[in-house]
Chains A and B, each alone.
Chain A
């Protein structure tokens, strides 16, 4: 997997924050779940997708 340049990663962070606000508290979970499915599809790699899910689950409180 290729790492994003930091500036791009920061833009991703900002775009995500604004999208969550745009979705609103009622729909944010649905937005984030849809986003994960879209990214998984774009990624086209089930091993990498499962690894990403594990990374996101790790240390979740």
Chain B
């Protein structure tokens, strides 16, 4: 909701562009079989289109609106998402505009009880978290979409019917220019929490609703505090409820506050009540100067998802597949990981470089990630909005003890988003090889990054197919060289990175690791090989190469062999 007297898109800081409907070929009888139709041009749909475009795959992207989503939406972009944005060539404006951060504070009755510090390993290129309004996230993605010759963006185009077939999907699209039929090999449903595609296919989200309600308000104020997550339990400005405060660019601040039990939602959402409560909360943090109200809404936590993210040739991504609680910032970030996961798999299948059965791995991998999010988010949601007297009492006991004692403080940890580990995926066939390593990233996890001598980063050199990282003294052995050549024959996009502990001949393809920092990060010895998937998750690792297993893993990741 916006304050009285403001138009629906009259923002304090963002100018909403208006996009016209275009006259498209289908309206003039040009019948085209499109490889991919993406329904919904929010951040997830646009990212999916950009991932496909990275692989040279064309897509049609439709959205029923004529502009970006408005209101107080996602604001936190996690490090793994920055890597996804980098790989689709869109990260630069994010780095420039977003506010990076890694610290947070939790307070109980005005006293600090917990200091959140997210790790920042020295080899990482991006900070753990960046704050940026979803309006800018969509704008920057749209700039990249508009610059791509492979993405056919159609605004004011609403899906009115969908008919899945064995070999494709037919849809009806309504636009101000007319109604038409469109045929695609595959459909990605990125049409949000109320997904019309989901309803039209008769599918339902299942899971739990939580009772605690939060008001989400965006305000503009001149307030001097670093970009950190601040959580206030039992603050005097909002007795009986929790408050969260996040900084965003343009002097915009996100203030989330929990409504008291039994408080009328309708009354709480009245503009004068929003203003009174926010004023009291701001007084608590020492801000008594004027501030302006941008937008507000009410929120309650849900853990809901589809039983299967795939319905024949239709794949659900983002909120259309799952709705997660806001605490822990996983909605946008998991949606972006969905888009990348289905994107590379679908692209390789459409190019004929991977077997269609690779697509079977999308739902187990990403639904597994959602269930993991639910487990973590349920814990943080129970702490942020204790559902019953037992949980409220236990929280009050833990928080009050936290004032003088260290031991309960970890309970106030917001458990911010971590990338999911695909250790149980069929694309991770040899997780038992982890036992050979004393540390380093496990099978299925996202590869860590390392800074190289020339200032670039290890993962900058990964390809868009499979990537092997081989640790050697000097040159690869004959057996290792043969293996790398075989991997190149299985995957034409294959990239090999040789990390050498010894200065080798003037061989520019070897990455120098003179101080052994990269080997330590990967717990590698000479002869160790890591095989990365296109999304830079670790498909497998071997302390010393086992050619049969490595070749089989690469084939499984391209769908050409079953585990």
Contacts and interface: CB of A to CB of B under 8 A. Distances in A.
Interface in A8-28: 9-10, 13-14, 16-22, 25, 28
B375 interface: no
Contact of B389 (A9, A25, A56): A25
B5 interface: no
* A contact patch SS: helix
B450 to A, nearest CB: 29
A10 B410 contact: yes
Interface in B30-54: none
Contacts of A28: 389-390, 393
Most interface-central of A21, A22, A55, A56 (chain B CB within 10 A): A21
B401 A20 contact: no
B218 to A, nearest CB: 33
Most interface-central of A13, A22, A56 (chain B CB within 10 A): A13
Nearest to A18: B390
B109 to A, nearest CB: 9
A16 B393 CA distance: 10
B13 to A, nearest CB: 40
A47 interface: no
B407 A16 contact: no
Nearest to B405: A55
Contacts of A19: 390
B403 A59 contact: yes
B394 A16 contact: yes
A13 B400 contact: no
A3 interface: yes
Nearest to A15: B394
A11 B386 CA distance: 16
A13 B398 contact: yes
B264 interface: no
A21 B390 contact: yes
A3 B394 CA distance: 19
A20 B400 contact: no
Contacts of A4: 407
Most interface-central of B382, B394, B404, B408 (chain A CB within 10 A): B394
B199 interface: no
A9 B390 contact: no
A9 B411 CA distance: 9
Nearest to B400: A59
A21 B389 contact: yes
B114 to A, nearest CB: 13
Nearest to B413: A6
Contacts of A59: 400, 403-404
Contacts of B382: 17
Interface string A42-61: 00000000000001101111
A3 B407 contact: yes
Contacts of A22: 390
Interface residues of B, number: 20
Contact of B394 (A20, A56, A60): A20
B388 A21 contact: yes
Contacts of B411: 10, 13
A56 B407 CA distance: 13
B19 interface: no
Contacts of A60: 400
A4 B403 CA distance: 19
A11 to B, nearest CB: 11
Contacts of A3: 407
A17 B394 contact: yes
Contacts of A55: 401, 405
A17 B407 contact: no
A6 B398 CA distance: 13
Contacts of B394: 13-14, 16-17, 20
B391 interface: yes
A37 B408 CA distance: 21
Contacts of B390: 16-22, 28
Contacts of B389: 20-21, 25, 28
Nearest to A19: B390
A57 to B, nearest CB: 11
Given A13-B398, A55-B401, A59-B400, A20 B407 contact: no
Contacts of B393: 17, 20, 28
B409 to A, nearest CB: 10
Contacts of B400: 59-61
Interface string B354-394: 00000000000000000000000001001000101111011
A14 to B, nearest CB: 8
B391 to A, nearest CB: 4
Contacts of A16: 390, 394
A55 B401 CA distance: 8
A9 to B, nearest CB: 7
A6 B413 CA distance: 12
Contacts of A56: 401
Interface string B189-213: 0000000000000000000000000
Nearest to B395: A17
B399 to A, nearest CB: 11
7 contacts: A14-B394, A19-B390, A20-B393, A20-B394, A28-B389, A59-B400, A59-B403
Interface of A: 3-4, 6, 9-10, 13-14, 16-22, 25, 28, 55-56, 58-61
Given A10-B379, A10-B410, A13-B398, 15 more contacts: A3-B407, A4-B407, A6-B410, A10-B411, A17-B382, A17-B390, A17-B393, A18-B390, A19-B390, A20-B389, A20-B393, A25-B389, A59-B400, A60-B400, A61-B400
